[in-house]
Amino acid sequence: MDSDVRLLAGLIDRSAELKGELVAFGQSARFDRWLTPLLLEAAGPERELDETEAIRIIDHFILRYRLPDGSTVVDRFVAGRRGLTEVERELLLGWRDPVEGVFEIRRKDDGAVVLLNLIDDLEYRTYSNAGPAAFRGVSAGGFLLTCLVPLLPTEGAWLVSGAMEYYPESSADEIARAALQLAVSEPQLVFHNPEKIEQGWQQMREDRAAFVEFCGDDELVLSPAASEDLLNAYYRNRQEATLAAHPDRARDGRPPGPDLPAFELPPDLADADTVGVIYDEVDGLNFYADYGMLRDLFADPDLTGRRTHQDLLRTYLREESIAPLPIRRLAAAHPETVDTVFRRLLRKPGFSWAEHGEELLRRRKPWYYAQEPRPGVSVIGERLAELATGRR
């Protein structure tokens, strides 16, 4: 057995010990106030939660959940655990960047399985800290729903983390729908693959141009019902354009891509009086509740005397789900009133948007500036496209 093989075997064995200790640490009383609500929410009113889902939630909490100070459970475990070697510290801290995905099993290879992630189109040589027996019931051509963590400091070796669900090759249609939904709902998962980032920017530029041509502008204020109707009409138009461009690839007269579900706004937007629809060059396509009221406020600063308008602007400044984009847009569209709006809201007579606006946004929304911009569209890999369109 050469040194690299011995190192890998040792890391796998040690990772099993450390993961057990880490899970016990994450489930200890010190973290109850954060973990318990996550489990209760997933259990729903019936208070039922299957073991696989519970394992997935606990694993996500331990590796990725941000505690109030910005740290993770892994960070605190490493900081408080004396006697860890540098290799063990590197191994544990590497787990903070897991790869979530839907994986097609390419082959088994010397105690490992080689997996193709249908989300990011990359292959992962994967081991289990339970040993090769963990893969005894899986076959090439089948699929795994799981999460992987790197086996640092080795290059190109990954470890199953948390729950692992296996589906046979006959489940390809179901798996393709699940992978497509995940890629669309969480496009950041696609961008583990650097090549997909530039593809995503290019695709988003093309999509935004088509949106502006179809809708007449990149910023609209509509009722919730009109927003849904517009987006569904737009997506139908895009699919028809795809069909016209590739008639030879159509199947039964339908577009050559996967069938997309009808667009529906989430409840908080569906219940709003108006919805702002903004397709930005950097932040992509976004929707904002009661954007019409906010636009009225910037057009008429006297509305800052109304509690509803004040509270709405405060919400836009406070909420982590709202990027700086809508406030920047309104400030740029109303340069003659923006200072008045914020002076009255903040009760700072000397406030100037030109001097203090960006500082205000950075202070209120540090999370936005802490990460590199990513395309707001998903890039569907070739293999997932094949499975989604029924090609094997």
- Please, what is the angle between helix 291-299 and helix 338-346, to 10°? 100
pLDDT at 7: 81
Question: Where in the chain is CATH 2.40.50.140?
Answer: 99-187
Q: What is the mean pLDDT of residues 274-282?
A: 96
Tokens of 130: 């339970």
CB 112 within 8 A of CB 131: no
Distance between CA 232 and CA 331 in Å, rounded? 30
CA atoms within 13 A on the CB side of 58: 20
In tens, the pLDDT along 98-136 reads: 999 999 999 998 889 999 999 999 999 999 988 888 899
Tokens of 260: 């997309």
Considering Cα of 289, then 290, then 295, then 301, what sign does the dihedral take?
negative
Q: To which H or E segment does residue 35 belong?
A: helix 32-43
273 has pLDDT over 60: yes
H helical segments located in 44-119? 51-64, 73-80, 86-94
CA atoms within 13 A on the CB side of 375: 27
Q: Please tell me which of 146-155, 352-361, 375-384 the model is most confident about, judged by mean pLDDT.
A: 352-361
Q: What is the mean pLDDT of residues 159-181?
A: 93
Question: What mean pLDDT, rounded, does the chain reach?
Answer: 90
Q: What is the mean pLDDT of residues 137-142?
A: 92
Which residues are within 8 A (CB) of 168 and not within 5 positions of it... i.e. 6 or more apart? 139, 141, 142, 143
**Beta strand 284-289 with 123-127: parallel, antiparallel or unpaired?**
unpaired
The CATH homologous superfamily for domain 99-187 is Nucleic acid-binding proteins (2.40.50.140)
Tokens of 233: 């009409």
What is the SS3 assignment for 354? helix
In tens, the pLDDT along 194-235 reads: 889 999 999 999 999 999 999 999 999 999 999 999 999 999
H helical segments located in 163-305? 172-185, 194-215, 224-245, 267-270, 291-299
Distance between CA 148 and CA 2 in Å, rounded? 25
Torsion of CA 126, 128, 131, 136, to 10 degrees: -70
**Beta strand 143-150 with 99-109: parallel, antiparallel or unpaired?**
antiparallel
Position 190: which residue type? V
